[in-house]
Homo-oligomer: A and B are copies of this chain.
Amino acid sequence: MHADDLILISVDDHLVEPPNLFENHIPEKYRDRAPFVRTTRDGSDVWMFEGAKIPNIGLNAVAGRPKEEYGIEPTAFDEIRPGCWNIDERIKDMNAGGVLGSMNFPSFPGFSGRLFANVDDKDLALAVVRAYNDWHVDEWCGAYPGRMIPMGIPVLWDAQLAADEVRRLSKKGVHSLTFTENPATLGYPSFHSDYWDPLWKALCDTQTVLSIHLGSSGQLAVTAPDAPIDVMITLQPMNICAAAADLLWSRVIKEFPDIRIALSEGGTGWIPYFIDRLDRTYDMHHLWTGQDFGSKLPSEVFREHFLTCFIADPIGIELRDKIGIDNIAWECDYPHSDSSWPEAPEELARVAADVPDEDLHKIGFENACRWYSFDPFVHRSREQSTVKALRAEAEGHDVATKAYDKGRFTRQVGADLGELAKQATA
């Protein structure tokens, strides 16, 4: 298929939270205690919350920068592409990139809202989570109906409150919850505990997908304090296989047959080997480990429960039938450095040159729509939804690559990797 004719919904992009996020949504009693942005003396913008200072307003938000500068972290809103934090600009960037729909993971709260979970005042924390979600659904996604797949952040510290929030959000049309790869490494009960059962039940009852983004376990793939950062970049997507194995063999899958899980930014090329390994492990070992999937193989169970996605993955595309053609979605990863925005459609068309239209439509948008109960076509026709049609709407919108103001931004990506590695190898 020619890139022009693709219809693309990305199941993994990122937003940078704007300073006024909480303004319209935080209850009056917490107005003075909600997270807020402070501009420091050196011109950096930082989020402040309950005494904590979070300098990463949008970690690795480098869309529109030359590759030489991917290692420099933006530290102020005026150095980040406005499409990261302004929905009107984001839609223009999506149009220019030919992207019809997009699901956006959070930035400063962490992928699973860990920042909010860590404060002592849990009433305040709950108000902040709800305000965040209301802003995300009503303002960010609500501004352009049919363009954004809404997603909630979880109440990470209380499974019952988490369930309540999922049910509340589902009434606003939300069918995705961002969550951690591994609650155990964050200090919460693991996927093998029954602690989370109220949450799993709420997800099943509301057809809400548990969207697990790589890097959300609180542990980086760091081999040694002095390892080059390339090691971590290479390994990061493969580590989500730990979450996939953890959940596949857990009681969650067996006791909540309607649960659906997305491995966000996890790539796909490793999946055929992984599910083959699942079946071999089952065959060789279940007689003594006690695993029991009845008449099914683990590979079948995987396909019933897991959505995978890729940016551009030639191996995953070649082996798509071994993964499951209904289990693969496309992602853009805007505005991070792995993204090919605004030329992502061309990249996909190139690596999927031999893929029949039917399969490419499933990967490009149909699977995303079905898994996330998302229907953009009530708002615009399919003809208006192609890469070509969207780009026509973006005519004149500037997508030029721009360098940073060198004197100002010097913080390197992974500046604290050494410290993390020391912990990892201790």
Contacts and interface: CB of A to CB of B under 8 A. Distances in A.
B224 A249 contact: no
Interface stretch (A49-57, A152-160, A227-235): A227-235
A270 B238 contact: yes
Contacts of A40: none
A5 interface: no
Interface in A264-282: 267, 269-270, 272-274, 276-278, 280-282
A19 to B, nearest CB: 28
Chain A interface size band reads: 35 or more
A338 B283 CA distance: 10
A325 interface: no
Interface in A235-259: 235, 237-238, 241-243, 245-246, 248-250
A227 B246 contact: yes
A141 to B, nearest CB: 29
Contact of A273 (B221, B285, B316): B316
Nearest to A286: B230
Given A273-B270, A276-B315, A190 B227 contact: yes
B233 A246 contact: no
**Residue in A71, A225, A231, A319 whose Cβ sees the most chain B Cβ within 10 Å:** A231
Nearest to A182: B223
Contacts of A400: none
A67 interface: yes
B226 A234 contact: no
Interface string A178-190: 0000101100001
Given A267-B273, A272-B269, A273-B313, A245 B234 contact: yes
Given A223-B246, A278-B234, A68 B287 contact: yes
A220 B99 CA distance: 41
A185 B425 contact: yes
A224 B192 contact: yes
A413 B226 CA distance: 34
A318 to B, nearest CB: 8
B237 A284 contact: no
A237 B285 contact: no
15 contacts: A67-B285, A71-B285, A184-B425, A190-B225, A190-B226, A192-B228, A227-B246, A230-B291, A234-B245, A234-B278, A235-B245, A269-B273, A272-B315, A273-B313, A315-B322
Top 6 closest A-B pairs, CB basis?
A269-B273, A190-B224, A71-B288, A184-B224, A230-B249, A223-B246
